[in-house]
A and B are shown apart, each in its own frame.
Chain A
Amino acid sequence: MEDLVSAFGLLARIDVLVALLIGSIGGVIIGAIPGVGAAVAIAILLPATFSLEPLVGLTMLLGIYGSSMYGGSIPAILINTPGTAVNALTTYDGYPMTKAGEARRAISLAYSASFFGGVFGILCLILLSPVLAWIAPQFGSREIFLAALLGIILVVLAHRGQIFAAGMLACFGIFLNTIGLEPIKYTQRFTFGQSWLSSGIDLIVVVLGLFALSQAFVLMVDKDDSPRAQPLKGSLFSGMKELFGHKRVATVASSFGVLMGMIPGVGEFTAQFMSYTYAQKTSKKPELFGKGSPEGLIASESANNAVPAAAMIPLLALGIPGEALTAMMLSVFYVHNVIPGPQLFQNDMDFVLALYIAMLVLNVLVLIFLLFSTNLLTKIIQIPTRFLGIVIMILSFVGVYSLRNSIVDCAIAAGFGVFGLVLKRLNLPVVPIILGMVLGGIMETKLRSSMARVKTPLDFIDRPIAAILFAIIVLVIILHIRTLVIEHRNRQPETDHDLHDTQMR
């Protein structure tokens, strides 16, 4: 109770509230524009948030993270182009509803389902807090090492059809993190005698290159486009009532979102697929799925919006980010010497609670904003793509250059920009590189600190949580091989799809 009062005290400041407002409304707008996702926006804003207090900076970034998916559903439903990657599944039922003249109903339902998923995720996070506060201190170095290893394995295995590429990119990320002067024996690693490589390659520079500059290059080189969306007529308040009629689907979908969000390296896609499959299997009208089913839309939007809150669990409790956006947020913690992990729950519970409350408030703010401004957003969607490219490039400059006024950083970011463009064009994932960089660093430190007390290899897993994590790693690999064998036996002709191309936007 004391922590709760203290948390409200932390939030009741004008700078935090302004950050929350900018983050949530900015996030919706960014999400609504196809071509800019939360990742691009967070990458650009990261260096600017370093000068802010941790809570202010994190509130703004969380605002963008939590609200971009709301905005992303608008173009997904109206013009069949997902605003953010995780709205791809929303196009399946949302766009057919628009074609059938039910755009207003679809948008209203998407907002309601998103709100439900968002709030459900945060409530789960709040309810789980005592458990997390109890379990997190039991994670020592070896458990965190194993959890990070599990995250790397899962992010590689999650990229079906491109596992080899995802594996090599994750290893590339781990390698990038090793470049420079290492802090233990002070030896140079892969600097090739170049002084500018001694300080290593900054994560933010790589992130800005891979996410922001690459997108600017893609948009400017590609053909110009200006998506047109029809304005909506009528009230958007009816969705909540309709959602109530499908509360079972919304609850199950949100639960999948929470569950998948908590596991590093898995995320929204799996959650959405599982909830969509569940909704279809248990529906009275399964034939409507993919042709404008409200249940399909609810499953998709509830699941993806429940993920951000859940994704904060491994980040806050263990200091392990599960995907690119939380990996970026980790750097905000580091810059301010706030080390997320077990100690955070023991010593700064009010800070953690303040983040939860901020997330709750942002969902309310976003819903209110959207109910009154959707038609304005349909106009923003129309920004020509090449112009958007120019905007992203100019903003990327602020991001990279303001870090340490280094021209070399800008050149490295531009290099990663081209690399990111090639990966996007080849339909290859960018996320394994970022997770490799972050989790690789964690694994190196934690392995070193944990091995001092390990005499035989079995000692490494002689604690219950370490043993469980190790068992999960083995199980995941065995299950993956089993699935491959089964799928190989029941081979079907492949259907090419551009789901992951849209993920790159």
Chain B
Amino acid sequence: MLVQIKTLKQLFQRHRRPGNLFFATFFLILSLFLLSQIGNQTVWKSSTKFYAQPALWPIVSLVGMALFALLNWISAWVSPKIAGRWLEIQFWLRSFEYVLWFMAYVYVVPLLGYLPSTVLFAVVLALRVGYRTPKMIGFSVLMAVSVVVVFKSFLQVRVPGGQIYEWLPDFMRSFMLTYF
């Protein structure tokens, strides 16, 4: 439920959430690490003006990033602690399961082909997130087929045909490779 906002300050105000300090610490470490690598990862050419130096913008951005990250960390450190930090971090970590699902899908498409992989992935994920009814499984299949038809068959986006299609009879192979 939204609350009534009365001042411009309140409108723009973004409030802290649990896990804020953890993230601020992580980002500060990342910024300092990247800043420490400037000498190794960029080049400062001796005969070039400063504005054309390849290292100029990495330096500008990383100094800015480190400075703001430090201020952000100090602000998070001195602010009252919000309960629920570890629960929140657990939530973040749970997303990695879906990263694995996504990457599995990416690896499977060139093997099984776009249409079979998408249908398989949609159904398996639907089961994984808790949909068990035939209606929802049916919707998942329908959605997967629609996505493939719209993007591959009509819009012809560049998704390679599956290796499994090579096993199909001649009359179907090129059709499947082109449209599904």
- Tell me if B51 and A448 are in contact (CB < 8 A): yes
- Tell me if A162 and B51 are in contact (CB < 8 A): no
Known contacts A162-B14, A171-B68, A220 near B23 by CB under 8 Å: no
Can you add 11 more A-B contacts, CB < 8 Å, to A161-B15, A220-B129, A411-B106? A51-B156, A161-B14, A167-B71, A189-B42, A221-B95, A387-B129, A390-B125, A405-B158, A405-B160, A410-B102, A418-B95
Kindly state the separation between the CA atoms of A220 and B98 in the bound complex, as whole angstroms: 8
- Chain A residue nearest to B30 in the complex (CB): A172
What residues of chain B lie closer than 8 Å to A281, measured between beta carbons?
none
Counting from the closest, the 7 A-B pairs by CB-CB distance are A160-B12, A168-B68, A167-B68, A171-B64, A164-B72, A171-B65, A175-B61
19 contacts between A and B (CB under 8 A): A47-B157, A80-B1, A159-B14, A164-B75, A167-B72, A168-B65, A171-B65, A185-B43, A188-B41, A189-B55, A393-B101, A394-B143, A397-B109, A398-B147, A417-B102, A428-B14, A428-B23, A492-B7, A494-B10
- Tell me if B52 and A497 are in contact (CB < 8 A): no
What residues of chain A lie closer than 8 Å to B4, measured between beta carbons?
92, 290
- B11 CB–A CB distance under 8 Å: yes
Min distance, Cβ A62 to any Cβ of chain B, angstroms: 18
Min distance, Cβ A35 to any Cβ of chain B, angstroms: 14
- Tell me if A426 and B17 are in contact (CB < 8 A): yes
- B60 CB–A CB distance under 8 Å: yes
- Chain B residue nearest to A393 in the complex (CB): B102
Kindly state the separation between the CA atoms of A48 and B153 in the bound complex, as whole angstroms: 12
Contact residue among B20, B45, B58, B143 (Cβ-Cβ distance under 8 Å from A185):
B45
Question: Total interface residues on A, using CB and 8 Å?
Answer: 90
What residues of chain B lie closer than 8 Å to A494, measured between beta carbons?
10, 13, 15
What residues of chain A lie closer than 8 Å to B156, measured between beta carbons?
51
Within 8 A of B (CB), among A403-450: 404-405, 407, 410-411, 414-415, 417-418, 421-422, 425-429, 436, 440, 443-444, 447-448
Kindly state the separation between the CA atoms of A492 and B2 in the bound complex, as whole angstroms: 19
Within 8 A of B (CB), among A61-114: 80, 88, 91-92
Range of interface residues on B (Cβ < 8 Å)? 35 or more
- A345 CB–B CB distance under 8 Å: no
- Tell me if B109 and A401 are in contact (CB < 8 A): yes
- Encode B117-141 as 1/0 by CB contact (under 8 A) with A: 0100110011001110000100110
- Tell me if B102 and A499 are in contact (CB < 8 A): no
Min distance, Cβ A160 to any Cβ of chain B, angstroms: 3
Kindly state the separation between the CA atoms of A426 and B94 in the bound complex, as whole angstroms: 16
What residues of chain A lie closer than 8 Å to B31, measured between beta carbons?
168
Known contacts A160-B9, A393-B125, A398-B159, A410 near B65 by CB under 8 Å: no
